[in-house]
Amino acid sequence: MIRRTLVLVLLLLSAAALVWVEFGTPAPAVPSFQAVRAAHRPSDARLLDRTGEVIHELRTDETARRFAWTPLREISPALQTAVIVSEDRRFYRHGGIDGRALVAASFRRITGGPRRGASTIPMQVADLIHARLRPSGGSRSLGQKWSQIRLARAIERQWSKEEILEAYVNLVTFRGELQGVAAAANILFGKAPHGITEAEAVVLAALLRAPNAGQEAVTRRAWALREAQGVGIGKEEIEGTIAQALAATPGIGPRVALAPHLAYRLLRAALASSTAAGHDRSTIDGALQRVSVETVRRHLLAVRARRVRDGAVLVVDNESGDVLAYVGASGDLSSARHVDGVRARRQAGSALKPFLYGLVLERRLLTPASLLEDTPLDLTVAGGLYRPKNYDEQFKGLVTVRTALAASVNVPAVRTLDLVGVETFVEQLRRLGFEGLTESGDYYGPSLALGSADVSLWELVNAYRTLANGGVWSPLHTTPGDKQANRGRRRLYSEQTAFLVSNILSDRESRSATFGLESPLATRFWSAVKTGTSKEMRDNWCVGYSRRYTVGVWVGNFSGEPMRDVSGITGAAPVWLDIMAWLHRRAPSPPPEPPTGVIAKTVVFPLQIEPDQTEWFLDGTEPRMVTQALAGDHPRIIAPARGTVIALDPDIPPLRQRVVLEAQSGRAPLRWLLDATDLGSATDLVVWDPHPGRHTLSLVDDEQRPHDTLTFEVRGLAVRSLN
């Protein structure tokens, strides 16, 4: 009798409460379903390759594991059914509150029976979107429960049943840190939500009651749920599914980590405000990325005893500018694995030489057959004398431009820089995209010919790609349809000049003077390649291109520690060769056809400097006679020397402090230009009255094009000329 009275009282109280909720209070403010969905932030941003394959996962929230929001239509019907049976059997029949369940729960609380919650799915959604409703310690307070009921009713009024269920399965915690159906299905079973089977659905639904329960409790709940659903799942299948789910280790970090540096660069916006999709499509080729990562690791292990710990690789498509592989570091072998070796700037070594020779060929100052001296050279610089040496510390005497570039002979490169001018070369490098060259030419001096400037692999690879594309520069890009892809496209070398440089860099015989005929630079298909090693073997580069791809490799130590006996052939080149061979395992790379404006002519060299050969020339630069002469009759400033500092002395007569301007002007009618002032013809000596300041002196032609430029400084008080 007492029990019946209690039940009746509870029913009356529940009914009164529902009436009050429905009619006696204003509806609380509830966010729209669209707002809740838009506010969802995945904890893992994923980088996809060009085909949609995941190549890297970047964790952006360490408090929970959430994947992208999953629409209800993409969730297995078996899972939807299991969740409703487990959590809210009358979900489609009540208006947010299950009165029968509420009375039963209240009765059990009063009589001391086994407790079971009466929260409906809408009530749990209210908890999930309003943190203030969640119990801080033990049970929820009456005030929190009352607010939960009111919010659940408001949600029912404004959302559809499908939206409520969709929000629930995307926000609820299934296991440990796994929030939402996408994370649970992916981490626990390795599949998308639409692929969840009946057995997996039962297990996931059983986990909702106690996400951290042990195997025995989960098995008991799953079997009870299977009985309630009446599905034909065997006990062994359920137990095996539970074992698989509980064995998963969701907190171990990203499962796929092929491109950490690029992923961070592309997905770093997700650290603050990840997109709802939680992923970004890239231009990377997943298979090539794996090959590149493994190749770097394998070759670094082979030379690890020589103090080499770090490496980087960049592979791009010549025509499109797509970045196909981006390896920023050598992973666990690296001395600083978070440093991005593709973007870090290091000294380029001889890797800059092709752009210097391309410039003098373009200006018709030299030809591939021009002879340059490889003999001891002393140059005055700000810090004293600069004495360039070759890698083997030997001098070869007279060499052709072809041999000087292909065999990477140093002194001829320095002499070539003197022909064109340091400032002119710096400007060309800037146009090629080397943004780190912020100083004037005098700052770098003659050592720029040997790569004293700091460059990145990103910049270097795209500069070589410019040669591969016939002298046309355009930006690289890492995402499909990049709006910047076609911006900034510009021609920096003529098609003819690019052909000559490429022809030299592909010449195995001319390269053999330094590298031998058989080396990692020799491929079975057409390719053009150059190495570079910085001072004290701190950096080692190998960059080259085929008809379709450009591949760049850097090895060294991020700490700046010198390597031991590692040159381009033993360091970066083997990595370059393996990747290039993989790219062309089925794709051909025939030699490019010479463009119009390039002609071939037989050349005979004096004193048997080199064997007679057929050489390519820009039309009009071919020698008039068969026998080749020494290059040297080219415009250049002889005095004052580059970087000269002149100190004026008030005790010395002004006439004795005048500065002589002297030039080797060649056959061209050139003029002096000092700080934009025309000082007359450069054919004869010019005497100038110095005045304090930093001055720029140029040799220019009739069209004001500079043929050589330098800067110098005058210090002290101006002295009055007696003229």
Which range is least confidently modeled, 194-198, 598-602, 623-627, 656-660?
Answer: 623-627
Q: How many angstroms separate the CA atoms of 435 and 415, rounded?
A: 25
pLDDT for 170:
93
Q: How many angstroms separate the CA atoms of 511 and 437, rounded?
A: 29
Show the domain range for 237. 2-252
Domain-ending residue, one of 225, 252, 279: 252
For residues 596 and 643, membership in a common domain is answered with: no
Total domain count, the chain: 3
Q: What is the pLDDT of residues 505-564, one digit of tens each?
A: 999 888 887 777 778 888 999 999 999 988 878 889 999 999 999 999 999 898 888 888
Position 267 in a domain:
no
23: left (phi over 0), alpha (psi -120 to 50) or beta: alpha
Average pLDDT for residues 271-285, to the nearest whole number?
Answer: 67
Which range is least confidently modeled, 297-311, 352-366, 489-503?
Answer: 297-311
pLDDT for 113:
46
Select, from the ranges 150-164, 381-395, 467-481, 611-625, the one with the highest average predicted confidence (pLDDT).
Answer: 467-481
For residues 497 and 641, membership in a common domain is answered with: no
Position 707 in a domain:
yes
For residues 554 and 642, membership in a common domain is answered with: no
pLDDT for 64:
83
Average pLDDT of the residues of the chain: 82
Query: Is pLDDT above 60 for 433?
Result: yes
Query: Is pLDDT above 80 for 27?
Result: no
pLDDT for 77:
92
Position 615 in a domain:
no
Query: Is pLDDT above 80 for 102?
Result: no
Position 97 in a domain:
yes
The enclosing domain of 640 has a CATH number of 2.60.40.10
Question: Between residues 703 and 188, which one has the greater pLDDT?
Answer: 188
The enclosing domain of 496 has a CATH number of 3.40.710.10
For residues 428 and 402, the answer to whether their CB atoms sit within 8 Å is no
Provide the 3-class DSSP secondary structure of residue 582. helix
Position 702 in a domain:
yes
For residues 593 and 648, membership in a common domain is answered with: no
Query: Is pLDDT above 80 for 431?
Result: yes
For residues 7 and 115, membership in a common domain is answered with: yes
For residues 112 and 224, membership in a common domain is answered with: yes
Average pLDDT for residues 589-606, to the nearest whole number?
Answer: 91
0.85 exceeded by the pTM?
Answer: no
Query: Is pLDDT above 60 for 627?
Result: no
> Judging by DSSP bridges, how do beta strands 384-386 and 379-381 pair with one another?
antiparallel
Position 287 in a domain:
no
Select, from the ranges 32-41, 146-155, 429-438, the one with the highest average predicted confidence (pLDDT).
Answer: 429-438
Model confidence band, residue 360 (pLDDT cutoffs 50, 70, 90): very high
Query: Is pLDDT above 70 for 140?
Result: no
pLDDT for 590:
95
For residues 589 and 644, membership in a common domain is answered with: no
Q: What is the pLDDT of residues 647-702, one digit of tens each?
A: 887 778 877 788 888 887 665 688 888 888 888 888 777 888 888 888 888 888 87
Domain-ending residue, one of 601, 618, 649: 601
For residues 454 and 584, membership in a common domain is answered with: yes
Average pLDDT for residues 240-249, to the nearest whole number?
Answer: 84
Question: Between residues 104 and 615, which one has the greater pLDDT?
Answer: 615
**Residue 314 carries which side chain, given as an amino acid letter?**
L
For residues 300 and 241, membership in a common domain is answered with: no
Model confidence band, residue 491 (pLDDT cutoffs 50, 70, 90): very high
Q: Please, what sign has the CA dihedral across residues 694, 699, 701, 705?
A: negative
Which range is least confidently modeled, 128-142, 351-365, 529-543, 689-703?
Answer: 128-142
For residues 426 and 322, membership in a common domain is answered with: yes
What is the DSSP annotation of 608-630?
Answer: GSS--EEEEEETT-S-SSSB--B
List helix spans (H) across 88-213. Answer: 99-111, 121-129, 142-158, 161-171, 181-189, 198-209
pLDDT for 722:
42
Position 544 in a domain:
yes
> Judging by DSSP bridges, how do beta strands 598-603 and 613-618 pair with one another?
antiparallel
For residues 214 and 80, membership in a common domain is answered with: yes
Q: Which residues are bridge partners to 637 per DSSP?
A: 663
Please count the other Cβ atoms lying within 10 Å of the Cβ belonging to residue 84: 18
520: left (phi over 0), alpha (psi -120 to 50) or beta: alpha
**For a pLDDT cut of 70, what percent of the chain falls above it?**
83
Position 610 in a domain:
no
Domain-ending residue, one of 550, 575, 601: 601
